[in-house]
Amino acid sequence: MRPVFHMAAFVGEGVPNFEIRDTEKGTDLLVKTPYLGQALARTLGRSPAALMRGHGSVTVGETLPAPWAAASISN
């Protein structure tokens, strides 16, 4: 995903794709264990968002308003 308008500038050069099946086989696609959460965090790295197959996106930030704003813009 790449930004196409100024409000999506938080995306920067793009967002990573979290493929949960690469971490755990036979999963129900839910990030519900510390192991899966750590894998998602590694995928995010310094990115403010990641795409999740079968779910859409996840956003993070230093304050509660930051990921909320990014999520509302990316939808």
User: What are 1-22's pLDDT values in tens digits?
Assistant: 555 665 666 666 778 999 999 9
Domain ranges (residues) in the chain? 6-74
**Cα(14)–Cα(49) distance, rounded to whole angstroms?**
9
CB 29 within 8 A of CB 35: no
**Can you name the residues that pair with 59 across neighbouring β-strands?**
49
Q: What is the pTM of this model?
A: 0.75
Q: What is the pLDDT of residues 32-60, one digit of tens each?
A: 999 999 999 999 998 888 988 888 888 88
Where is 56: in which H helix or E strand?
A: strand 56-59
Average pLDDT value for residue range 52-71: 82
